[in-house]
């Protein structure tokens, strides 16, 4: 069966990208990466993609007058690569409603908190400050509001008394590396549907 052509958008380190690359390396995995695109030309994640022999593109947002023209260039590359699904993996640009609706239900994000708690930046610092007992990560369909949209998978980690921002981020990242490939597998297997604004995962 044809594997789902998946593009990954990054801005930096690319450890989630690496987890996705590793999952897709199995020929039995139902998705393949058709493009890795970064808005930062120097992103370390691009080297990971290159090392895996994947097509890469750098589209620097700095070279465009506005968000719309940057996003048009991104969409052009996604379509040229035949992307059927787009995964944001540490892609740190806010996307316009126009881009989000163009890729409606084909655009997925991972965020390092148990949404709807702590959208935006500095999630771990804010979780520690709030004194939550559980932190975690969320894979979700992207909607126009930042870090909002129907949840596909979440993983929780317990917060300990001696946690720092760094120690918590590291434990959450470990979980991100598990649930992002798992979410991709479920989507590519056709097991994820949206009904009434909520995700239904078959066999979950």
| Contacting positions for ligand GAR (CB under 6 A) | 12-16, 45, 89-90, 110-112, 147, 173, 176
Between 16 and 79, CB nearer to ligand GAR: 16
Residue least distant from ligand GAR (Cβ): 90
Q: What number of other Cβ atoms are within 10 A of residue 51's Cβ?
A: 10
Helices (H), the chain: 15-24, 44-51, 67-80, 97-102, 123-130, 165-188
* Closest listed residue to residue 31, CA positions, set 195, 192, 194: 192
Which of 111, 124, 140, 177 is flagged as catalytic?
Answer: 111
- Nearest approach, Cβ of 170 to ligand GAR (angstroms)? 10
Between 18 and 29, CB nearer to ligand GAR: 18
- The token pair at 174 is 């470990």
- Nearest approach, Cβ of 60 to ligand GAR (angstroms)? 17
The yes-or-no answer on residue 177 being catalytic is no
- Nearest approach, Cβ of 18 to ligand GAR (angstroms)? 8
Between 30 and 112, CB nearer to ligand GAR: 112
| CA 55 to chain centroid | 18
- What are the DSSP calls for 118-135, one per residue? S-SS-HHHHHHHHT-SEE
> Which residues have a catalytic role annotated?
111
């Amino acid at each position: 069966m044809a594997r789902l052509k998946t593009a990954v958008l990054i801005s930096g380190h690319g450890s989630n990208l690496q987890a996705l690359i590793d999952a897709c390396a199995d020929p039995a995995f139902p998705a393949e990466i058709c493009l890795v695109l970064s808005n930062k030309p120097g992103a370390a994640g691009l080297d990971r993609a290159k090392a895996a022999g994947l097509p890469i593109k750098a589209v620097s947002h700095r070279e465009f007058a506005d968000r719309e023209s940057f996003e048009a260039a991104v969409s052009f590359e996604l379509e040229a690569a035949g992307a059927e699904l787009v995964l944001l993996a540490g892609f740190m640009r806010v996307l316009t409603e126009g881009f989000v609706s163009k890729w409606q239900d084909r655009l997925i994000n991972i965020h390092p908190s148990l949404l709807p708690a702590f959208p935006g930046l500095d999630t771990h610092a804010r979780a520690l400050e709030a004194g939550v007992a559980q932190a975690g990560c969320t894979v979700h369909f992207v909607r126009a509001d930042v870090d909002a949209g129907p949840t596909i998978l979440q993983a929780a980690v317990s917060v300990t008394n001696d946690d720092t921002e760094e120690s918590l981020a590291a434990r959450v990242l470990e979980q991100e590396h598990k649930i992002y490939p798992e979410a991709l597998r479920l989507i590519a297997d056709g097991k994820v549907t949206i009904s009434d604004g909520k995700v239904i995962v078959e066999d979950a």
